[in-house]
Homo-oligomer: A and B are copies of this chain.
Amino acid sequence: MTIKDIARLCGVSVSTVSRVINDRPDVSPAVRAAVLETVRSCNYIPNNSARVLVRSNSDAVGLVVRGVSNPFYSDIIKVIGREIDAAGYTMVMQQINSSADEIGTGAIMEREKKLRGIVFLGGRSDYTAEELRPITVPFVCCSYDNSFGVLPRDRLSSVSIDDGQTAYRAVSELCALGHRRIAALVAGTDDRSISELRYHGYLRALKDHGIEPEEALVACAGSFSMEDAYRATRLLASGGAEFTAMFIIADAMAIAAIKALEDTGREVPRDCSVIAVDGLALSQYTRPTLTTMCQPSERMGEESVRILLDMIEGRAGNRSLVLEPLLRSGGSVAPPRRARD
Q: Which residues of A contact B (CB under 8 A)?
A: 19, 22-25, 48, 51-53, 57-60, 68-69, 71, 74-75, 77-78, 81-82, 85-86, 88, 90-95, 112-113, 226, 230, 252, 255-256, 258-259, 262, 281-282, 284-287, 289
Contacts and interface: CB of A to CB of B under 8 A. Distances in A.
User: Top 6 A-B pairs ranked by shortest CB distance?
Assistant: A287-B287, A256-B285, A259-B285, A51-B59, A22-B86, A68-B78
A91 B95 CA distance: 11
A331 to B, nearest CB: 10
Nearest to A51: B59
Contacts of A57: 51-53
A95 B284 CA distance: 24
Nearest to A52: B57
B71 A95 contact: no
A233 to B, nearest CB: 11
A144 to B, nearest CB: 20
Nearest to A260: B285
Contact of A259 (B60, B77, B287): B287
Given A94-B81, A95-B78, A255 B86 contact: no
Given A85-B94, A91-B92, A93-B93, A255 B71 contact: no
B53 A282 contact: no
24 contacts: A23-B85, A24-B82, A25-B82, A51-B59, A53-B53, A53-B57, A69-B74, A69-B281, A71-B71, A71-B74, A71-B282, A81-B93, A90-B92, A90-B112, A91-B93, A92-B92, A93-B93, A226-B281, A226-B284, A230-B285, A256-B285, A259-B289, A282-B282, A286-B286
Nearest to A63: B93
A313 B260 CA distance: 48
